[in-house]
A and B are shown apart, each in its own frame.
Chain A
C-alpha cells in the first residue's frame, strides 16, 4: 500500500517544537539543581519521540542526532550518569540545534551542517567523557524502507540467505504452558510458515491432561513441524521471533543443500511426497517479493512533490484549539439555527399579532449572535504561556553571562490573549526582561550588602482586568534612581533644567527616544534605542505601559493590552451628522455641559472643571471639521471624559448614542493612517463610523 507520509509532516513538526520546549523547560529545572527523575524522564521522552518520528518520516539527520541525546539521557535516567551542569548546558545547546535543524527542514532549506557537527561533537564529548568525537556517531537502527521488521535478525540474515539455502526444515516446537497468554497463537505461526513453504504439522498430544483436569488457557500440545521449500533459516526464526522465550524450539535442516549455486531444487533428496510441490514454491516467493520492492522504490517521488504543496500551504499558519472551545462553538451554531428556523416560522403567514413573537425571536437571535461571536473570538485566544515559556531559558542564559543569581517566577500563564497579541508582545517583553536582568537586579555581593537575599527575583505576571490583559514584570532589584534619571534627561536636553516633574513623569523619561541610563553599554541591553520602541510597539497594539519603582526595592512595569485586536466595546457618539466610536475602556464618565462650565485659558485652549481638576477640552466638531447638523446646540453638548496615556481629557460631542460591540476594520489597509483615528467600523445601517484613537487625541490636545 502506498501512503503519502508527507501529510503527517506538519503535525510532526508541531509536535517536535512542543517537545523541544518541554525538554528545554525540563532542562532548566534540572539546572536549578533540582534532580527529579520524572523531569529527566520527560526530557528523555521528548528526545525519544523526536527520534522515533524523524526516523519514520525519513529525517535521518534529526534521527541520528537525537539518538546521541537519547543515549546520554538514558544513562542519566538509569542513574548511570551524574547530571552535571556541563551536560545540561550541552543538552540545552542541542535543543537549540535541533530546533534549527527542524526549522530548516520544515522550510525545505539546507541544514547548517557545521553547527550540527559542532553540537554533535560537544554531545559526544559529554557522552564519552573525552574528545574521541572523531569516531562516527553510532548509526541509528534505521530499518531501510523495505527491510523486514526485526532489524537485528534481518541484518544477520543477508549473508546466510545466499549460502545457507535449504530445501526444507524440521522444527520441534514445544510451547510453554503460558504461550497463549501473550496473545500469540500457534495456529497463526503455522499459517505464516505455510506461506513460506508447504507445512506439515504433527501434534503431540501425550501431555494433554484428562478432560476433567484440563485448563483451557494453557497450551499442552507440542508440534513436530516440517516445512518444505527454498527457505532461509532466518525466515523461520523471524516467524518464531516473538515466542522465543515462551517455547522450546529446535530447527534442523531437512537436508543440506548442494554448493551455493544450485540448478534446481529437485535433485536434493527430499521426501518423495514433497518433490512435486517443492518446485513451484520458490518461484512463488520470488513473484511475491518482486513487486513489493519496486513499489517501495517508487515511493519517494510522489512524496517530494507533495512536500512542495505542503510548504506552500503552511505559510497561512495554524493554531491549536482546545476541543472544549470547538464544542462551545458548535453548540452556539446549533442555537442560532434553532432561532433562525423559529423566525422562519413566524415569517411564514406573518400577521400583526405575531409581532411580540417576532421581537422575542430577534432578541434571542441577538443574544446568540453575540455568544457566537464570543465563541469564535475565543478560538483565537491562546494562553500567554506561549510567550512566557521562552523566558526561563532567556533568564538562565543571561544570568549566567552576567554572573547574577536570578529566579524567574511565572504567574498566570494560562491567561488567554488574542493570537495576534501573543505574536506581537514577545519582542517588547524580551526587551523589558533583559533590562530587568541587566540593570534591575544587582550582583549577588551588592544585594547582600543591601540586606537583600543573594538571589534576585523577577516575576512575570499576567491577569485580566476589565477588558484588558495586564502583564507585569516585577523585579526586586535596585529600582530607578530619580535623581539620576533627571540629571540624565537634563544632560541630554530632553527636559528643561528647572522642570518640575511628578514621579510618574520622571519614570516615563526612560521611554523617551535616545535615553539610556546604563553607565556602560553591554551586549545585553543599554543601546538606548529600546524603551521608546517598546512603548511604540505596545501602543500600536492599542495598549499602554507604566512604571512604578522604588529606589532599592525594585521596579514594576505594567503593560495593559486589549484582549483582542479584532473587536471592541464602543460608545457611539454623535458629532453633527457623523457618528464616532469611542472605545469603552477609555471612557471614565460622561457629563452634560453648558457654556459657562467651559473656560478659555490664554494660550492653552479650553478647559473645563471636573470636581477639583481642570481638564483640557477637545471640540470634536473642530478637530474633525464637521459642519453639518445644528450648530446651535454645540455648547449644550456632552463631555466624554476619557483617559489616555495616563492623562484625562474631555471630548465635546453633540450626543451619546449607544453602546455596541464593533468589528474593527483597518483604516490603513483600506485608506491611509489618520491621526486621532485607530480604525473604522461599519454600523448597522451600513454607514462607516471612525473609531477614535484616544491616546492619539490626548497627545494631540496636549500639543
Chain B
C-alpha cells in the first residue's frame, strides 16, 4: 500500500489525518513540522506527502519547495492542508511545487477522496 508522510504541528489534526489514512490501509508516518518532515522524507521514500501550511520551524510551503528539489521527490504528489483558502496561498504553494490542496476543515471522507486523486 502507498506510504504517506503526514505533516502537521497540531497533534489533533495530525492524529486525525494519520488515523484516517491508516484505517484506509495506507502506511503512514507522522512529522510535526517541516524540519522533522524533511528528515523523515530523506530517511525513506514516501509515495505522497500531506502537509499543513502554517507550522513552526519550517512551514509547509518551504517544505514542499525543498522536497521538490530532491531527486526522489521530483514527481511525488504533495498536498497542502490549509485554512487559508485564499488564492494567494494556493498560488504560493503551487509555485513551490505543491500538487494540490485541501481546505480545512475537512472530514475523513474528503481526505480519502482527495488522496485518491493522486494515489492508486
Nearest-neighbour CB distance to chain A for B13, whole angstroms, equals 6
Name the distance in Å between A380's Cβ and chain B's nearest Cβ.
Answer: 22
| Cross-chain contact B83 with A51 (CB below 8 angstroms) | yes
Question: B10 near A52 (CB under 8 angstroms)?
Answer: yes
What would be 18 A-B contacts, judged by CB atoms less than 8 Å apart? Answer: A3-B23, A7-B19, A11-B11, A15-B12, A49-B9, A49-B10, A55-B83, A56-B16, A141-B85, A142-B105, A143-B105, A148-B110, A149-B102, A152-B103, A182-B99, A183-B98, A184-B99, A217-B74
Q: Are B78 and A183 in contact, CB atoms less than 8 angstroms apart?
A: yes
Contact B56 A42 (CB under 8 A): yes
Known contacts A8-B19, A53-B10, A188-B117; 6 additional CB pairs below 8 A are A1-B24, A3-B23, A56-B105, A182-B94, A182-B98, A185-B118
Cβ < 8 Å to B, chain A residues 199-238: 217
Interface 1/0s, chain A 138-154, versus B by CB < 8 A?
A: 00011101101111100
Query: Can you list the 4 inter-chain pairs with the closest CB atoms, starting with the nearest?
Result: A55-B105, A183-B99, A12-B12, A242-B100
Residues of A whose CB lies within 8 Å of any CB of B are 1, 3, 5, 7-9, 11-12, 14-15, 42, 44-45, 48-49, 51-53, 55-57, 63, 70, 141-143, 145-146, 148-152, 180-185, 188, 192, 217, 241-242, 245-246, 292, 296
- Nearest to B118 among chain A residues (CB) is A188
In the complex, the answer to whether A56 meets B23 with C-beta atoms within 8 Å is no
Q: Which of B91, B105, B113 contacts A245 (CB 8 A)?
A: B91
Known: A3-B23, A141-B85, A180-B75. A53 touches B13 (CB 8 A): yes
Contact with A along B1-35 (1 / 0, CB 8 A): 00000000111110110011001100000000000
For B78, list chain A residues within 8 Å (CB).
Answer: 183
Question: Is A143 a contact of B15 with CB atoms below 8 Å?
Answer: no
Interchain nearest-CB distance for B51 vs A (Å): 12
- Bitwise interface map of B from 65 to 99 toward A, beta carbon under 8 Å scored 1, else 0: 00010000011111001010100000100100111
**CA gap between A151 and B101 in the complex, in Å:** 11
B77 touches A150 (CB 8 A): no
User: Are A183 and B75 closer than 8 Å at their CB atoms?
Assistant: yes
**Which residues of the partner chain A approach B56 to less than 8 Å between Cβ atoms?**
42, 45
Residues of chain B with a CB closer than 8 A to A14's CB: 11
For A3, list chain B residues within 8 Å (CB).
Answer: 16, 19-20, 23, 108
Q: Which residues of A contact B94 (CB under 8 A)?
A: 182, 242, 245-246
Decide yes or no: A183 and B76 within 8 Å by CB, A143-B103, A149-B114 being known contacts.
yes
Chain A positions within 8 Å of B101 at CB level: 242
Chain B: residues with CB nearer than 8 A to chain A?
Answer: 9-13, 15-16, 19-20, 23-24, 52, 54-56, 68, 74-78, 81, 83, 85, 91, 94, 97-110, 112-114, 117-118
Q: Is the CB of B75 within 8 A of A52?
A: no
* Given known contacts A45-B56, A181-B75, A184-B99, A8 and B12 CB-to-CB distance under 8 angstroms: yes
Known contacts: A1-B23, A52-B104, A183-B75. The answer to whether A192 contacts B117 by CB under 8 A is yes
- Contact across chains for A8 and B108 when beta carbons are under 8 A apart: no
Q: Are A149 and B113 in contact (CB under 8 A)?
A: yes
CB-defined contacts of B13 to chain A, threshold 8 Å? 49, 52-53, 56
Assembled-state Cα–Cα distance A181/B10 (Å): 29
How far, in whole Å, are A11 and B114 apart by their CA atoms in the complex? 25
CB distance from A567 to the nearest CB of B (A): 32
Contact check: which of A45, A145, A296 meets B54 at CB < 8 Å? A45
Find chain A residues with CB under 8 A from B10 CB: 15, 49, 52-53
List residues of chain A with CB within 8 A of the CB of B11.
Answer: 11, 14-15
CB distance from A57 to the nearest CB of B (A): 7
Contact B75 A242 (CB under 8 A): no
- The CA of A242 and the CA of B114, in the complex, are separated in Å by 11
Q: In the assembled complex, how far is the CB of residue B100 from the closest CB belonging to chain A, in whole angstroms?
A: 4
Interchain CB contact under 8 A, A52 and B85? no
Contact indicator B112/A1 (Cβ below 8 Å): yes
A63 / chain B contacts, CB cutoff of 8 Å: 105
| In the complex, chain A residues whose CB is within 8 Å of the CB of B16 | 3, 5, 8, 56-57
**Chain B residues with CB below 8 A from A7, complex form:** 19
Given A3-B19, A11-B15, check contact A55 B117 (CB 8 Å): no
Q: How far is the CA of A7 from the CA of B11 in the complex (A)?
A: 12
